[in-house]
Amino acid sequence: MSLNSSTVGFFYIHIEMHKHMSRCKHQKRTKIPTLTPTLNPNSSKAFHREIPRTTNRKFANSLTMLEIKTPKTAKAKRELDKRAPKLVENAKKTLILQGTKSSNVLNTVLTEIFHLKKGHAIKYSRKNENIRPFESGGETSLEFFSLKTDCSLFVYGSHSKKRPNNLVLGRTYDHHIYDLVEVGVENFRSMESISYDKKLSPRVGSKPFFAFIGEGFENVEELKHLKEVLLDLFRGEVVENLNLAGLDRVYVCTAISSNRVLFMHCAMRLKRSGTVVPRMELVEVGPSMDLVVRRHRLPNDSLRKEAMKTAADQPKKKVKNVSRDAIQGKVGKIYMPDQKVGAMALTSKVKGLKRERREGKTKNQADSHEPKKQKVATE
């Protein structure tokens, strides 16, 4: 059997592939072979040899998750419709996550914020290395998690020597960072450390009151920004009417200085006052902490103007056969179909037939007393 130049090149490729596969078994990263033309010293013709190229598996997975795909099932279509823009938006969800380093105080704070936002919050327990707010390139992973979970609010906790017990509160617009407020947690008191009557504990999902005490919330720029973020974070669903019996909690924020705010969560106890409006007493139920404003970043004017746009109210659809009059008010027309009364089947228990039955009975009695006529035979 004679071997030409092409046959030698084929065997050379096979040997190189076998060596490459044996090396890949002992390496952690995946190898994607790429074909580059090289020249075989035993042949004058060019052939292709496999050269390994390393890739990051996590980066490849993130690229596949960002692909936009059309829904193939009715369930997937309903999920996309829930995330689509609406005239009346759903309640804002909050994403709670932490950095590479954390502390016991910070873990408790994140857990209790998740408890206060139960039903409208998602909490990640793993540490995130690539999230660095206020830094260029450090907010990409945060925006990706916001898109993945459909959360427009986030709370990020980190701990370091320079910024201990650090909390970053932020909002997103179109799944991009809108604004940020960085605060430090001091003098923290958890729910378990405060003793109170457990019957007064607020119900899950109840609508809260807010009390902002101090002139700093109107004059200081940092506190004004913190007030907006706290209102968005804890207000829950937007409603038009409230029942006084359902109000059982209040968030009290007191401006102690130009950069320090005392945050308290209290339960409300309603008592009789002799009037229509009941008398309210506040009972501290926790959590309670001091928030020290460290850094904050406001959105630019163009982004704020775009985010504050509200859709015009949709025109009311015309209702058929309904009109309004200045005197009579709302007037409606009802069209009745042709009723065939003669073809309706009547039962024997109808009261209107009693007279006919009596008349028919007397007539039959009169006919029975008459002499019967003799039949005449005809030829």
Look at residue 49 in the predicted model and tell me its pLDDT.
Answer: 40
For the chain, percent of residues with pLDDT exceeding 90: 36
Residue 131 in this model has a pLDDT that exceeds 50: yes
Q: Are residues 271 and 279 in contact, defined by beta-carbon separation less than 8 angstroms?
A: yes
Run of H or E including 267: strand 260-271
Minimal CA–CA distance to 68: which of 83, 90, 86? 83
Run of H or E including 305: helix 301-307
Average the pLDDT over each of 164-173, 190-199, 203-212, 304-313 and give the range with the smallest value. 304-313
Residue 356 pLDDT level (bands cut at 50, 70, 90) = low
Average the pLDDT over each of 37-41, 113-117, 186-190, 289-293 and give the range with the smallest value. 37-41
For the chain, percent of residues with pLDDT exceeding 70: 73
Residue 220 in this model has a pLDDT that exceeds 90: yes
Tell me which fold the domain 91-302 belongs to: Rossmann fold (3.40.50)
Average pLDDT in the chain: 78
Residue 288 CB coordination number (10 Å) = 19
Q: Are residues 110 and 81 in contact, defined by beta-carbon separation less than 8 angstroms?
A: no
Instruction: Pull the structure tokens for residue 361.
Output: 């009975």
End-to-end CA distance of the chain: 132
Q: Is the preceding omega at residue 287 within 30 degrees of 0, hence cis?
A: yes
CA distance readout (Å), 343 to 20, 338, 339, 340, 346: 93, 12, 9, 6, 9
Going from N- to C-terminal start, the domains of the chain cover 5-61, 91-302
Q: Are residues 169 and 233 in contact, defined by beta-carbon separation less than 8 angstroms?
A: yes
Residue 103 CB coordination number (10 Å) = 17
Per-residue pLDDT tens digits for 221-254: 999 999 999 999 998 887 778 777 778 899 999 9
Q: Are residues 186 and 290 in contact, defined by beta-carbon separation less than 8 angstroms?
A: yes
Chain Cα centroid distance, residue 104:
28
Look at residue 89 in the predicted model and tell me its pLDDT.
Answer: 77
Minimal CA–CA distance to 185: which of 161, 163, 170? 163
Instruction: Pull the structure tokens for residue 319.
Output: 């209702």
Look at residue 138 in the predicted model and tell me its pLDDT.
Answer: 87
Average the pLDDT over each of 69-73, 121-125, 301-305, 368-372 and give the range with the smallest value. 368-372
Look at residue 43 in the predicted model and tell me its pLDDT.
Answer: 41
Collapsing DSSP to helix, strand or coil, 121 comes out as strand
Instruction: Pull the structure tokens for residue 15.
Output: 């040997």
